[in-house]
Amino acid sequence: MTVLPRFETSIDPVKLEKLAEVAVQVGLRLERGQDLVMTAPMAALPLARLITKHAYMAGAGIVTTFFADEDMTLSRYAHAPDESFDKASGWLYDGMAKAFENGAARLAIAGDNPMMLSAQDPAKVARANKANSMAYKPALEHISNFDINWHICSYPNPAWARLVFPGLAEEEAVKKLADAIFAASRVDVADPIAAWGDHNAQLRSRSTWLNGERFSALHFTGPGTDLRVGLADGHEWHGGASVAKNGITCNPNIPTEEVFTTPHALKVEGTVSSTKPLSHQGTLIDDIQVRFEGGRIVEAKASKGEEVLQKVLDTDEGARRLGEVALVPHSSPISASGILFYNTLFDENASCHIALGQCYSKCFLDGASLSQEQITAQGGNSSLIHIDWMIGSDKVDIDGVRADGSVTPVMRGGEWV
């Protein structure tokens, strides 16, 4: 029998089992005979084991899991030669891309220490991220193009829990974070699968309304924000469960409270201020303020983490343009919890947000049939990055603007009209 570390005994085993079941049955909708490629931090081993069990119970062909370890990652920054930070394991990502080409599904367990790299040289972190992004791109394209069914869920490791609940003992902090993850993931109810069916239906009704309105732009106004986000030609709104190109309906993100689409990379104008901090690669970037001209960020500053923000924006040409705009009501369960998770998967679902970088090809009418050239021509952005940051609050209003200039209220005070 496996002996659990002390902190893991504070995690409700019944709810953890439900989370694993939801990841396979709702998140992935794994098909019989389908292979699964999974990545996870070592701290998430208990959840990875349960997901593996449920994947095989669902008829998985083979489950292959790659683990990351915080101490090993930090050893690189402490001892590796300088040239190491311009390298990445391309052979591994080539193998992943091949697996996806052959029909494998993708699952990632989030749960790294958000501040793991906070004490490291930002230049080395940026170089390593860029090398990794370039190597990962062939595999990532199968995800961003929604060729396959994929899913992200989370596990509460102690370092993450201590950051979210700094005043608590480790065991209690882990329990509180686990309970918050279970609640946000809708696995703290008798029938989580039915609960996700109801929630997906609500998100689908929102996206259906937005698709029927055919807005050409969204206008955000609020403290420090007067932003007009042009929408890509032939854009399509999505939310909750979506059909991948392989025909499988999956929920890529759990939790999720958003409906989202693709902005026009050349048609974003004005200023916008973040409403929540962005935790990125060990750095907390707070009070972000940027100005767009012709779709491109021409001015950017932050009260904390500005150096890291500037390096992100210099990743490539597409890093200064938008790849996603998403609408989330201020009353969402994650916002109502009052918890800052320091994890984009959760924090983005507390607030309307935009994403720098790569767009999703599925957010176009007939997106599955469009070439990359057609996506670009219709306003879709291309980049090595995709980084969400929050711009919504109970003080932000949003209007939908049509091509003829007519305006329809979409949100007032952060809530759907």
Task: Give the model's pLDDT for residue 6.
Answer: 52
Distance between CA atoms of 292 and 313, rounded to whole angstroms? Answer: 13
> Is residue 279 classed as helix, strand or coil in its secondary structure?
strand
- Residue 415 to residue 398: CA distance in whole angstroms: 9
Average pLDDT, the chain: 95
> Residue 281: what pLDDT?
77
User: For residue 90, what are the CA distances in angstroms to 65, 72, 196?
Assistant: 17, 19, 36
- The full set of domains in the chain, from first to last, is 6-184 (3.40.1830.10), 215-247+258-416 (no CATH)
> Which residue is associated with the tokens 């007032």?
412
Arithmetic mean of pLDDT, 8-13: 87
pLDDT of residue 317: 95
At residue 7 the predicted structure's pLDDT band, cuts being 50, 70 and 90, is: low
Confidence of residue 9 (pLDDT cuts 50, 70, 90): confident
Using DSSP, state whether 117 is helix, strand or coil. Answer: coil
How far is Cα 101 from Cα 118, in angstroms, rounded to an integer? 36
The pLDDT of residue 283 is: 84
pLDDT score of 251 more than 80: yes
Query: How far out from the chain centre does Cα 220 lie?
Result: 22
Asked if pLDDT for residue 378 goes beyond 80, the answer is yes
The percent of residues in the chain predicted with pLDDT above 90, rounded, is: 89
Decide if pLDDT at 4 tops 80: no
In this predicted structure, the answer to whether residue 109 has a pLDDT above a threshold of 60 is yes
Closest CA to 290 of 278, 334, 123, 117: 278
Quick one: average pLDDT of 104-117? 94
pLDDT by residue (tens digit) across 302-324?
999 999 999 999 999 999 999 99
pLDDT, mean of residues 15-44: 98
pLDDT (0 to 100) of residue 3: 43
Judge residue 103's burial from the number of C-beta atoms within 10 Å of its C-beta, 0-12 exposed, 13-18 middle, 19 or more buried.
Answer: middle
Per-position DSSP letters for 203-225, written without gaps between them: HHHHHHHHHHHT-SEEEEEETTE
Checking if the pLDDT of 390 tops 50, the result is yes
Q: What is the pLDDT of residue 1?
A: 43
**Spatial separation of the C-alpha atoms in residues 374 and 377, rounded to whole Å:** 5
Q: What is the pLDDT of residue 187?
A: 97
The token pair that represents 256 in the structure block: 């999720």
The model's pLDDT over 118-147, given as tens digits with 9 standing for 90+, comes to 899 989 998 999 999 999 999 999 998 889
- In percent, how much of the chain has pLDDT > 70? 98
Rg, Å, the chain Cα set: 20
Reported as a pLDDT band with limits 50, 70 and 90, residue 252 is very high
What are the helix (H) ranges across 214-319?
306-313
pLDDT, residue 144, reads 85
Dist. CA 54–CA 27, nearest whole Å:
12
